[in-house]
Amino acid sequence: MPGTEKSIEMTKTGLTLGPVLFNWSADRLRDFYARIADEAEVDRVHLGEVVCGKRQPFTDGLWPELIERLQAAGKQVVLSTLALPYNPRERKAVIDFCRAGELAEINDLTALPTVAGKPFVVGPFVNVYNEGAARFLAGRGATGICLPVELPIASVAIIAAALPEVEFELFAFGRLPLALSGRCYHARLHGLHKDGCQFVCDRDPDGLPVDTLDGQRFLAINGIQTLSNGVEAFCPTPDDLARLGVRRLRLSPHTTDMVAVSRLYRALLDGRADRAETLAALKALDLPGELVDGFTRGQPGSARVEMA
Interface positions, 1-40, toward another protein (CB under 8 A): none
Find the helix or strand (DSSP H, E) in which 162 lies: helix 153-162
Could you give the CA distance from residue 239 to residue 7 in angstroms, rounded to a whole number? 16
Please tell me whether residue 242 binds another protein under the rule CB under 8 A. no
Residue 52, annotated ligand binder? yes
The residue from 66, 79, 149, 279 that contacts another protein (CB under 8 A) is 149
CA 197 to CA 190: how far, in whole Å? Answer: 9
Near another protein in 251-270, by CB under 8 A = none
**Is residue 164 within the footprint of another protein (CB under 8 A)?**
no
Task: Give the C-alpha separation, 164 to 87, whole Å.
Answer: 37
Residues 279-298 that bind another protein (CB under 8 A): 294-295, 298
Triad 62, 60, 141: Cα angle to 5°: 100
The minimum distance between CB 111 and another protein, in angstroms, equals 8
Separation CA 66–CA 26 (nearest Å): 11
Determine, following the binding rule CB under 8 A, whether residue 172 of this chain makes contact with another protein.
Answer: no
Q: Which stretch binds another protein (CB under 8 A): 11-19, 85-93, 246-254, 272-280?
A: 85-93
Query: Residue 163 interacts with another protein (CB under 8 A)?
Result: no
50 within 8 A of 83, measured Cβ to Cβ: yes
Among 84, 121, 145, 261, binds another protein (CB under 8 A): 84
235 is an annotated ligand-binding site residue: no
User: What is the C-alpha to C-alpha distance for residues 91 and 200, in angstroms, rounded to an integer?
Assistant: 24
Instruction: For the CB of residue 51, give the shortest distance to another protein in the complex, in Å.
Output: 12
Using CB under 8 A as the binding rule, whether residue 231 contacts another protein is answered as: no
Q: Which of 3-11, 14-22, 107-115, 238-246 is the region at the interface with another protein (rule: CB under 8 A)?
A: 107-115
Contact (CB, 8 A) for 308 and 51? no
Which range touches another protein (CB under 8 A), out of 8-16, 18-26, 205-213, 276-284? 205-213
Angle between helical axes of 275-283 and 258-269 (0-180°, round to 10): 170
Determine if 125 is a binding residue for another protein (CB under 8 A): yes
Under the binding rule (CB under 8 A), the answer on residue 91 touching another protein is yes
201 assigned ligand-binding residue: yes
Among 13, 81, 222, 228, binds another protein (CB under 8 A): 228
The CA distance from 55 to 20, in Å, is 12
Nearest to 13 by CA among 276, 235, 252: 235
User: Of the two residues 130 and 256, which places its CB atom closer to another protein in the complex?
Assistant: 130
Q: Is 98 annotated as a binding residue?
A: no
The span from the CA of 207 to the CA of 256, in Å, is 13
Give dist(CA 28, CA 40) in Å, integer: 16
Size, binding site for another protein by CB under 8 A: 73
- Residues at the binding site for [4Fe-4S] cluster are 52, 184, 197, 201
